[in-house]
């Protein structure tokens, strides 16, 4: 069965610091990978996705993620975070349906 693991439930970080949110997946077939962000009291918004091609994917708001097939990972990174990046971040894998991880709460402090 396919699954997605987000190892960190919460990541506190100071403003302007770099951040990495970890995501690992398990799948025996080709996968498509997504990162979504959920701001307080809002629905999910697509940050970026990997379908094929370059393993480094750039998304909105300065985020990027790297697909690593050998490590079955799709970690999300941002070199310098802002207060406004405080939100819940969800990694997801699309097989026959979209399967989400449990989410990582990114808390950015001034």
Partner 1 sequence: ETGVTQTPRHLVMGMTNKKSLKCEQHLGHNAMYWYKQSAKKPLELMFVYSLEERVENNSVPSRFSPECPNSSHLFLHLHTLQPEDSALYLCASSQEWGQDLQETQYFGPGTRLLVL
Of 88, 84, 79, 81, nearest to 106 (Cα)?
88
Residue placing its CB nearer to partner 1 in the complex, 15 or 99: 99
Of 107, 73, 87, nearest to 36 (Cα)?
87
What distance in Å separates the CA atoms of residue 72 and residue 38, rounded to the nearest whole number? Answer: 24
Of 98, 93, 107, 84, nearest to 51 (Cα)?
93
- Give me the residue label for tokens 């979504």: 36
Residue placing its CB nearer to partner 1 in the complex, 13 or 94: 94
Residues that bind partner 1 (CB under 8 A): 4, 32, 34, 36, 41-46, 49, 51, 90, 94-103
Residue placing its CB nearer to partner 1 in the complex, 19 or 90: 90
CB 89 to partner 1: min, Å? 13
CB 86 to partner 1: min, Å? 17
CB 110 to partner 1: min, Å? 27
């Amino acid at each position: 069965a396919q699954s997605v693991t987000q190892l960190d439930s919460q990541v506190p970080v100071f403003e302007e610091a770099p951040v990495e949110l970890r995501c690992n997946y398990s799948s025996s077939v080709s996968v498509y990978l997504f990162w979504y962000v959920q701001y307080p009291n809002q629905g999910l918004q697509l940050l970026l996705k990997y379908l094929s091609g370059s393993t480094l994917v750039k998304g909105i708001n300065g985020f990027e993620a790297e697909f690593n097939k050998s490590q079955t990972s799709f970690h999300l990174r941002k070199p310098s975070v802002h207060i406004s990046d405080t939100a819940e971040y969800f990694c997801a894998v699309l097989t026959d349906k979209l399967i989400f991880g449990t989410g990582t709460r990114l808390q950015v402090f001034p």
